[in-house]
Amino acid sequence: MKQKKQIIIFTDLDGSLLDKDTFEFHEIEDYFRDLVSKGIKIIPNSSKTKAELSNFNKQYNLNLSFIAENGSSIHGLNLIHKNLPNNIFLSRTVDEIYKIYNQNVTDNLKEKVTFILNLKSNEQQEIFGLSLEKMNLAIKRDHSIPIQFNGTEIEKNEFIKIMNNSGLTIQTGGRIMNICDNVNKSIAMSKTMELINKEIDNEIITIGVGDNQNDIDMLKHSDYPCLVKNNSFDSSLLNIDNLIKSTEPSPRGWADVIKTAIQKIKT
Ligand SMILES: [Mg+2]
């Protein structure tokens, strides 16, 4: 017989757990820590880099496993079970990704692409909206290339199509677009679940939390999908069963949807 249910929360950070402008979550930090101390596993699943997510753990004195760069890599699963690996890479390297971009995108479209890492430090800071110290962690990218696309909607779709046909993806999150390998938050979440299921006997219930397009697949694959209010994302056409939506933005909206989900799990 299966033992107690194990709840695992896969959560986006910016705009979901963290305030989209200040990147803080003071208002709900006590509640967050309460969940952790009750044994609920919280796994940030973010477009942030490994360096940023390690720093998040350090800053808040947490020991969370996490998924970095839009599903490119999974870290710290050994914290959940000692038999699980510390690092899992699902993506090719930045150099390989750049090579594919370079070989497949037309010159006309290349002119519309700005590589954010090639900009001056102060310009990068403005785009990321981060302090210099935090930005230095954000640019340590192993598997994704942040860009801005300065063309029409038609050109942008054309660009995305070429990337997809070349085996890459364009992931749109908070402030930037990223050229990524054929990965996403949902694939990395499934991989994580597959590994955890091998080591843990408990029945696992997943809660997925996001606020934007790059979270939608992850939500669809969660037992309890949760959407945090984001004024710049139109969720009216979303078709997800049992979607729990917040009326407040992050961070309060995060606590609200989690409370609702946990209530539903208990009943
Ligand atoms: Mg977000």
Distance (Å) from CA 16 to ligand 1 centroid: 5
Instruction: Check if the beta carbon of residue 72 is closer than 8 Å to that of residue 58.
Output: no
Q: Are 29 and 85 contained in the same domain? A: yes
Distance (Å) from CA 209 to ligand 1 centroid: 9
Q: Are 132 and 247 contained in the same domain? A: no
Model confidence pTM above 0.85 = yes
Average pLDDT over residues 4-29: 95
Distance (Å) from CA 174 to ligand 1 centroid: 5
pLDDT digits (tens, 9 = 90+) for 181-213: 999 999 999 999 999 999 999 999 999 999 998
Q: Are 83 and 192 contained in the same domain? A: yes
Q: Considering only CA atoms, which of 176, 260, 258, 255 is closest in space to residue 213?
A: 176
The pLDDT, as a whole number, for residue 173 is 61
The pLDDT, as a whole number, for residue 147 is 95
Instruction: Check if the beta carbon of residue 245 is closer than 8 Å to that of residue 47.
Output: no
Q: HEC states along 37-71?
A: HCCCEEEEECCCCHHHHHHHHHHCCCCCCEEECCC
117 or 2: which leads in pLDDT: 117
Split into its structural domains, the chain has a count of 2
Q: Are 46 and 175 contained in the same domain? A: no
Q: Read off the pLDDT band of 236 (50, 70, 90).
A: confident
Residue 3 reports pLDDT greater than 70: no
The pLDDT, as a whole number, for residue 174 is 60
Distance (Å) from CA 207 to ligand 1 centroid: 16
pLDDT digits (tens, 9 = 90+) for 23-80: 999 999 999 999 999 999 999 999 999 999 999 999 999 999 999 999 999 999 999 9
Report the C-alpha gap between 196 and 9 in whole angstroms: 13
Choosing from 159, 181, 203, the residue where a domain stops is: 181
Q: Are 11 and 122 contained in the same domain? A: no
Q: Are 60 and 74 contained in the same domain? A: yes
Q: Are 39 and 24 contained in the same domain? A: yes
Distance (Å) from CA 233 to ligand 1 centroid: 10
Which residues, listed in sequence order, are joined to residue 11 by a DSSP beta bridge?
44, 209
Q: Considering only CA atoms, which of 45, 96, 97 is closest in space to residue 69?
A: 45
CATH number at 132 reads 3.30.980.20
Q: Considering only CA atoms, which of 37, 101, 92 is closest in space to residue 69?
A: 92
Within a domain: residue 151? yes
Q: Considering only CA atoms, which of 6, 15, 8 is closest in space to residue 172?
A: 15
Distance (Å) from CA 212 to ligand 1 centroid: 5
pLDDT digits (tens, 9 = 90+) for 128-147: 888 889 999 999 999 999 99
Q: Tell me how crowded residue 256 is: count the other CB atoms within 10 A of its CB.
A: 19
Choosing from 146, 181, 216, the residue where a domain stops is: 181
Within a domain: residue 1? no
Q: Tell me how crowded residue 44 is: count the other CB atoms within 10 A of its CB.
A: 25
Residue range of the domain that includes 173: 94-181
Q: Are 17 and 81 contained in the same domain? A: yes
Distance (Å) from CA 162 to ligand 1 centroid: 25
| Residues whose beta carbons lie less than 5 angstroms from ion ligand 1 | 12, 14-15, 211-212
Distance (Å) from CA 141 to ligand 1 centroid: 18
Q: Are 26 and 139 contained in the same domain? A: no
CATH number at 28 reads 3.40.50.1000
Distance (Å) from CA 15 to ligand 1 centroid: 4
Segment (H or E) for 189: helix 185-199
